[in-house]
Amino acid sequence: MQPRTGKTCGAQSTHTSSRLVLAAILPRKNRRPRGPGAEASPGSADRTGTSAFRTTVRVGSNGPMRIETIETFLADQIAIVRIRTDDGAEGIGQTSPFRPGLSVRLLHEMAAPHFLGQDPWDLEALVERCLRKEYKFPSTFLYRALCGIDTALWDLLGKVTGQPVHKLLGGQVRDFVPMYASSMSRSITPEAEAERLAALREEYGFRAAKVRIGDVMGADRDASPGRTEKLIPHIREVMGDDFTIHADANSGFSVSRAIRVGRILEDHGYGHFEEPCPYPLLENTAQVAAALDIPVAGGEQDNSLVQFRRMIESHAVDIVQPDIGYIGGVARARRVARMAEDAGIPCTPHCSNTSMLQVFTLHLAASMPACHQFHEWGIEDTPWTRGVYEPELRLENGGVKVSTAPGWGVEITPEFLRDAHHEVSSR
């Protein structure tokens, strides 16, 4: 069914279900408080999901709950997804950031029909069925859209059961996740980079960081002449020997250049060497990994589970880095983390911004034994991630304490929902 659109600055667009229902605001003594606004007064308007609780009661059926609506709220680089079932349960998620308008289009037109009317508990099977049915369209934007649906369903199931998502993923392995300060900048000088990393260590207790070397898909170019060779020793000199430093080339080097740079990193005691060669050229990365002692990391750009199996079994990487937003959600990222665990290598999910993806990654890291290293915490200022959800994650003593609240443990702010462009697909 085609989505209905409208900007939610006033009345929310509505839809009519294709099946016979009795929609009623139940008397308070019979209402089940499941989700935001459950204690709101009967008859109050339901505009953003944070006021009244509306229950849909099926006539003559005691079957499982079914996905009734899939909504998107798009603003700037963020697309929030909200899923509601026919019995009033709801969950929130987010597509991968960047070009989210394209992800929203594919979500409503291609992905949503595979989920509407289905049982949320079939989450993983539904994701894989969608990918099988749409096998002729293996677009990154389909996977980014699936991330929004997958993460909203995990939140819904957590709220239904009263459990945090990490409990549903396999149980809590750790209650505190250490973070590394992740720089996104190649325009910053080595001196300025070292200065700000030292300040962040002092303020937040970071014990690790990552810097950018080379240039993105750079074919052996540097962001500025000689920057890589200047940056590597200078950061180590300023931060000292008891501080972990990673380096990310973002697919910047040929095999020979990557090996030379890798040896410089080894000489200065760096932690890992991320994406040294263009990521589609897995064999090139494997040559670099074989030649160096420093662990080689990769996988953030990949969305194929078969490709992850290849990179692990061929020892192309020593650390695997699925991105929940790029791979199609938490269920698929969890499968990569389990591959890593079986192979005896670390899984350090990629997460370079402070959107809801950071919340999802935190829960994955809390539940997977292979996710035992420092995890990524972006340090660049991103105004588009502010005011999206609350409570915000708190960074203390170089890491984040894992929430024990149901679902993701956060809610989307009413202001974001009010101002975002709203679309809904319904069955």
pLDDT band of 39, cuts 50, 70, 90: very low
Cα separation, 300 vs 395, whole angstroms? 23
Q: Helical H runs in 169-224?
A: 190-204
**Residue 63 binned pLDDT confidence (cut-offs 50, 70, 90):** confident
pLDDT tens figures, 326-362: 999 999 999 999 999 999 999 999 999 899 999 999 9
Query: What's the pLDDT tens digit per position in 12-33?
Result: 333 333 332 222 222 323 333 3
Q: How confident is the model at residue 61 (pLDDT cuts 50, 70, 90)?
A: low
Average confidence (pLDDT) over 289-295: 98
Q: For residue 297, which of 370, 234, 359, 349 has the smallest C-alpha distance?
A: 349
- Whether the per-residue pLDDT at 60 is higher than 80: the answer is no
Q: pTM of the full predicted structure?
A: 0.85
| Res 37 pLDDT > 50 | no
Residue 3: pLDDT over 50: no
Cα separation, 351 vs 134, in Å, equals: 26
Q: Which residues of 133-157 are buried (b: 16+ CB within 10 A; e: fewer)?
A: ebeeeeebbbbbbbbbbbbbbbbbb
Distance CA 243, CA 269 (A): 10
d(CA 390, CA 11): 24
pLDDT at 342: 98
Mean pLDDT computed over 77-81? 98
Give the pLDDT of residue 162: 98
Amino acid residing at 83: I
How much is the average pLDDT of 72-79?
98
Structure confidence by residue, pLDDT tens digits, 136-166: 998 999 999 999 999 999 999 999 999 999 9
Residue range 322-326: average pLDDT? 98
